[in-house]
Amino acid sequence: MSRRSVRTVSIALVACLAVATACSSQGGAQEEEKNSGGGGTNTAAGPRLKMAMVTHAPAGDTFFDIIRKGADAAAANDNVEYTYSNDGDPTRQATLIENAVNSKPDALLVSVPAPTALRASIQKAVAAGIPVIGFNAGREAYQDWGAIMYFGQDEGIAGNAAGVRLKEESAGKVLCVIQAQGQSQLEARCNGVKAGFGGEVENINVNGTDLTSVRSTLESKLRQDPAITHVITLGAPFALTALQAKQASNSKATIVTFDTNSELVGKIESGDIAWAVDQQPYLQGYMSVDAAAFYIRNGNVLGGGKEVLTGPAFIDKSNIAAVSKYAKAGTR
């Protein structure tokens, strides 16, 4: 898939969604907070609905802050109140899902990076007649684990697009940084990069919960292997950490990434980071709440049985001026 094709698909998707509705180092909610969000006020939308959102976000994840802003906006428009809980450990996330099901919400909204570990908990919602909406992670088998709709990015397509771009930019050796070993969506990204690039791609696993450790690992790797021309990370905080490692090691490697936050967008503006693959997390949060409300109130299902893709799109020097104002507002 060419860059032009990816951008065209993304623009078309946003246009369609606009008609239909009119992977983090600082911020984010911690699992134990279980904050309620998006207290709905638009009574014209229908009776108040109660939903539960459970994600695999680690504590302090700015990417999921953007998802939650989208969910908050939809909740206000749709007269929805939702609770939010999160844990990056699949076993603990499964417990959170069971707790959410026991609260008898009108809908369960869930990201599923480990379908095998979470399926049994999600099936309890299905058995209780609670509609399940998937987003962000778990696309490969979302109907198998119980979701009726899914909003997110095909990580293989996104990774392939990134790999093709690296090839077009004449990259040499690419280092793909995986911050949470075993998460299917992250591994799919690196596999896609390798397929699209067709050259040498080395995966490196780091401990994404410890950015000091990530920096040390990447700094050591860049010192040891000057053949690395590009580092691609799978989340904005890790790109920012890779930039620090590059500077400390005097590496000439170009830093690129999946996903954004406001600080990352600023680094694209300055040229310190070349580009980012954007999966539009705001849409993932918004559409999860919005689609659930439509399903409950009117029986609507988006996607015709297929997932609704929110990405990929590229953010780079060519469009950063248009994107940055939204990123600074916390919606891109």
* Tens digit of each residue's pLDDT (9 = 90 or more) over 124-175: 999 999 999 999 998 888 998 999 999 999 999 999 999 999 999 999 999 9
The reply to whether 14 and 115 lie within a common domain is: yes
Report whether pLDDT(31) > 70. no
3-state secondary structure of 303: coil
| 321 within some domain | no
- Give the C-alpha separation, 76 to 36, whole Å: 12
- Give the C-alpha separation, 51 to 37, whole Å: 10
Using CA atoms of 97, 99, 103, 109 in order, give the dihedral in degrees to the nearest 10. Answer: -20
Q: Quick one: average pLDDT of 179-201?
A: 93
- Give the C-alpha separation, 153 to 283, whole Å: 11
The reply to whether 150 and 167 lie within a common domain is: no
The reply to whether 150 and 288 lie within a common domain is: yes
- Give the C-alpha separation, 163 to 151, whole Å: 23
Burial class of residue 118 in the structure, from the number of CB atoms within 10 Å of its CB (0-12 exposed, 13-18 middle, 19+ buried): buried
Q: How confident is the model at residue 59 (pLDDT cuts 50, 70, 90)?
A: confident
Q: Is the peptide bond before 312 cis (omega within 30 degrees of 0)?
A: yes
Of residues 285 and 61, more confidence is placed in: 285
Of 188, 190, 249, 195, which Cα lies nearest the Cα of 218?
249
Q: Quick one: average pLDDT of 19-37?
A: 43
Order the strands of the 36-37 sheet from edge to edge: 36-37, 80-86, 49-55, 107-110, 132-135, 149-153, 308-311
Q: Which residues pair with 52 in a beta bridge?
A: 83, 108
| 330 within some domain | no
Report whether pLDDT(7) > 90. no
The reply to whether 131 and 206 lie within a common domain is: no
* Burial annotation 178-201 (CB, 10 A radius, 16+ → b, else e): bbbeebbbbbbbbbbbbebbeeeb
Q: How confident is the model at residue 15 (pLDDT cuts 50, 70, 90)?
A: very low
Model pTM?
0.81
Q: How confident is the model at residue 36 (pLDDT cuts 50, 70, 90)?
A: low
Instruction: Assign residue 261 the CATH number of its domain.
Output: 3.40.50.2300
* Tens digit of each residue's pLDDT (9 = 90 or more) over 212-222: 999 999 999 99
The reply to whether 130 and 77 lie within a common domain is: yes
Of 245, 253, 268, which Cα lies nearest the Cα of 169?
253
The reply to whether 150 and 162 lie within a common domain is: no
Question: How far is CA 33 from its chain centroid?
Answer: 21
pLDDT, residue 184, reads 80
Q: What's the domain range around 102? A: 3-154+279-313
pLDDT, residue 154, reads 93
pLDDT, residue 40, reads 59
